[in-house]
Structures are given as structure tokens and as C-alpha cells.
């Protein structure tokens, strides 16, 4: 989102309290209208880019491995550092040139270059990233007045980012299977609806593969969580990175195969069977799979979407049950059941 600049860094007019109030009011209004942290980051970087007339404004988020990953950027990306930088080696969180609450970035020009301001994103003492304003396009030096204004903006934005991060984390947990780390049945149904809508727009096919670990008999032990995770690894290796997998039942996994028809799904099924061949579960029990596949017809509008999703799922699961009823360790296509 691009805004008509209220100010420019050469005139320093944003130091005027009335101008600052207008900027803060607009940012606060944007915060109230945004429901995701990514949307907030995009708006804030765009606003700061205009206010400071900066070459670029970027937000970097702290990662578990100690690096910083760029999550938003406004301005000239060719001058910005790489998308991922080493948070430790660049001393972004511990440089003595950046006292807590201060935004002067005198010691980090080797990372960001030129005239740069840094604002740590923190809330109740927890730092989750930084906001970087690079103004090498101007000859008017940045100073402590500019840093204080940036600090004020980030202090307003930070609590909203923490709240949205927490809410998005709660939603992610609600859509994730705790045993496998895959999306759960609810996540599957949501993603299937999205893919069907995309298929209606593009005319591309969508296939569904559903598999289950075969039971060796009534006296056979449950294959266990470790065996399920082993099959998950095999499934991930068998599908494209862009094709999401889910846990949709106690022993059942599903994969949405975008831009694929029945033929493509059967190829993936064969690859999955080969990946599982020879794997064992509890007490050395050999793991085998039953697989069912189904696909939407290409170039056909599927409406209403909820009924189309139910129909595709039912076809694939009926094919799976047919494979299981036939003794397992086989793949059945929904087309063969007609």
C-alpha cells in the first residue's frame, strides 16, 4: 500500500508535533483495520518509507537459529541486505552502540550501510526483531530526533504485532496435528476449499491421495506414533513441496496434489508404496499401505464448493476403503469403482 508522503527527510517537517500526531493517528487506524501481523508490517514499512523519504525500510524477525529473516520491505530492495542475516555476528541485539530504547545505529553500517536507524521490536522485555530505516538517498543526516520519532512509532506498533503473532500462533496450533506436525482434518478441509476455488479460476486439476497404514489382523499391535511419523516422512518425500499433506484420521494421511489428475496421483501413490516398502513398526511389524486416489475433472466449474469438496473427499476415501477391503498393500482409483 503506497501513501502520499506527509513529509520528507530533507525538511524534517515530521518533527513538527502536529505532523507527528497525524502520522501516528494514521498508523493507529491502520492497526485497528489489520487482522494479521504481516499486513501490519506491510503498512508500517510503507508509512515509514514515505515519512522518512527513505531508500528502504525493512522489518527483520528473529528466528530460532539466531538469524534475522526479513518479513517486510518498502523501497529499493537492491540496496537492502539479504533476506536472512546473522543476528549474532552483526550484533543486532547486543551492540554497545544501541542502548536499550535507543535507535542510533552507528556500529552497524557494515551490515546496512549509510545512514541507518534501528528500532528493536520488543514488548515486556522480549525482542522479536528490528525495524531498519536506511536513508542513504539523502544528504541531510539522521540524528537523535529522528530516532526518537521512530522509537515512538515502533512502541505503538509492537504490542499489536505481539498480539497478532499470539493469535496466529493459537490458530496454527488449532490446525496442527500434535503427533505428526501435519495439518489436521480442519486444516485439510480449509485448504481443500481454497484449492477448489483456485481450480475454478484457473481450470487446473486437483487430485486427492488418501492413505492408511494397514492392520495386519485383530491381534496385531497398533503400529504406533513412530510408525505414523515414518510414513509421514515417506509421504513428504513422495509429493512435491507445493503439495500439502495432512493427518485426516487415526492411521490416515491425505495429500492434495495440485495441478494433477488421476494419472499423476497414481504416480505419487507408486512412489509412496516404494518409499514405505521394507519399513517396520512396533515389534518389527512390516508397514504396508492402502491408498485411494480421486481427482476433479479439468476445466469444469465445481459449485457449490462445499459440496464439491465433500464429493472429492468421499470418492478418495471410498477408494481407500476398497483397497483396504481387498487385503491392503494396494492402490485403488475412484474411477475404477464406477
Domain boundary among 114, 148, 174: 174
In this prediction, residue 91 carries a pLDDT of 44
Please tell me the predicted confidence (pLDDT) of residue 99.
35
Range of the domain at 106: 13-174
Answer whether residue 3 is part of any domain: no
Do 92 and 197 sit in the same domain of this protein?
Answer: no
Per-residue confidence (pLDDT) for residue 112, from 0 to 100: 64
* pLDDT at residue 270 in the model: 97
Q: 147 and 17 share a domain? A: yes
Per-residue confidence (pLDDT) for residue 202, from 0 to 100: 82
For 280-302, the pLDDT digits (tens) are 876 677 889 999 999 987 777 77
Rounded Cα distance, 172 and 187, in Å: 9
Beta carbons of 158 and 27 less than 8 angstroms apart: no
Contact 173, 166 (CB under 8 A): no
Residues 190 and 328 in one domain: yes
Domain contains 82: yes
Q: Residues 46, 138: one domain?
A: yes
The SS3 call for residue 96 is coil
Q: In CATH, what number is assigned to the domain containing residue 38?
A: 3.30.450.40
Number of domains in the chain: 2
Sheet containing 126-134: give its strands across: 84-86, 67-75, 56-62, 126-134, 116-123
Give the pLDDT of residue 88: 46
Q: Are residues 192 and 289 in the same domain?
A: yes
Q: Domain boundary at 126, 143, 174, which?
A: 174
Residues 78-120 have pLDDT tens digits of 767 677 776 543 444 433 333 333 333 444 445 566 678 888 8
Helix ranges, the chain (H): 17-33, 37-52, 109-112, 144-174, 185-202, 224-238, 262-276, 305-325
4 is a domain residue: no
Shared domain check, 144 and 206:
no
Q: What is the pLDDT of residue 323?
A: 96
Q: What residues of the chain score a pLDDT lower than 70?
A: 1-14, 64-66, 79, 81, 86-114, 136-140, 216-223, 282-283
Q: Three-state DSSP class for 29? A: helix
d(CA 123, CA 72): 19
Residues 237 and 163 in one domain: no
Domain with residue 224: its CATH number is: 3.30.70.270
Amino acid at each position: 500500500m503506497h501513501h502520499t508522503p506527509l513529509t520528507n527527510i530533507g525538511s524534517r517537517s515530521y518533527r513538527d508535533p502536529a505532523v507527528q500526531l497525524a502520522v501516528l493517528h494514521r498508523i493507529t487506524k491502520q492497526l485497528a483495520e489489520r487482522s494479521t501481523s504481516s499486513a501490519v508490517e506491510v503498512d508500517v514499512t510503507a508509512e515509514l518509507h514515505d515519512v522518512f523519504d527513505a531508500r528502504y525500510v525493512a522489518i527483520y524477525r528473529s528466528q530460532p537459529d539466531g538469524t534475522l529473516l526479513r518479513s517486510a520491505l518498502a523501497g529499493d530492495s537492491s540496496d537492502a541486505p539479504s533476506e536472512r542475516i546473522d543476528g549474532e555476528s552483526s550484533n543486532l541485539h547486543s551492540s554497545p552502540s544501541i542502548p536499550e530504547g535507543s535507535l542510533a545505529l552507528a556500529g552497524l553500517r557494515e551490515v546496512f550501510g549509510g545512514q541507518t536507524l534501528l528500532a528493536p521490536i520488543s514488548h515486556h522485555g522480549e525482542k522479536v526483531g528490528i525495524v531498519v530505516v536506511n536513508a542513504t538517498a539523502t544528504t541531510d543526516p539522521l540524528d537523535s530526533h529522528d530516532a526518537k520519532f521512530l522509537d515512538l512509532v515502533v512502541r505503538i506498533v509492537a504490542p499489536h504485532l505481539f498480539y497478532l503473532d499470539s493469535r496466529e500462533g493459537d490458530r496454527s496450533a488449532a490446525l496442527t496435528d500434535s503427533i505428526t506436525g501435519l495439518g489436521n482434518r480442519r486444516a485439510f478441509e480449509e485448504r481443500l476449499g481454497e484449492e477448489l476455488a483456485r481450480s475454478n479460476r484457473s481450470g487446473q486439476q486437483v487430485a486427492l491421495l488418501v492413505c492408511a497404514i494397514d492392520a495386519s489382523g485383530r491381534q496385531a499391535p497398533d503400529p504406533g506414533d513412530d510408525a505414523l511419523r515414518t510414513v509421514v516422512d515417506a509421504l513428504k518425500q513422495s509429493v512435491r513441496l507445493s503439495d500439502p499433506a495432512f493427518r485426516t484420521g487415526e492411521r490416515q494421511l491425505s495429500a492434495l496434489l495440485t495441478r494433477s489428475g488421476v494419472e499423476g496421483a497414481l504416480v505419487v501413490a507408486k512412489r509412496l508404496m516404494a518409499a514405505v516398502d521394507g519399513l517396520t513398526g512396533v515389534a518389527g511389524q512390516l508397514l504396508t499401505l492402502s491408498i485411494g486416489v480421486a481427482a476433479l475433472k479439468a476445466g469444469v466449474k465445481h459449485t457449490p464448493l462445499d459440496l464439491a469438496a465433500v464429493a472429492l473427499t468421499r470418492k478418495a476415501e471410498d477408494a481407500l476403503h476398497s483397497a483396504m477391503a481387498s487385503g491392503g498393500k494396494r492402490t485403488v482409483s475412484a474411477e475404477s469403482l464406477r
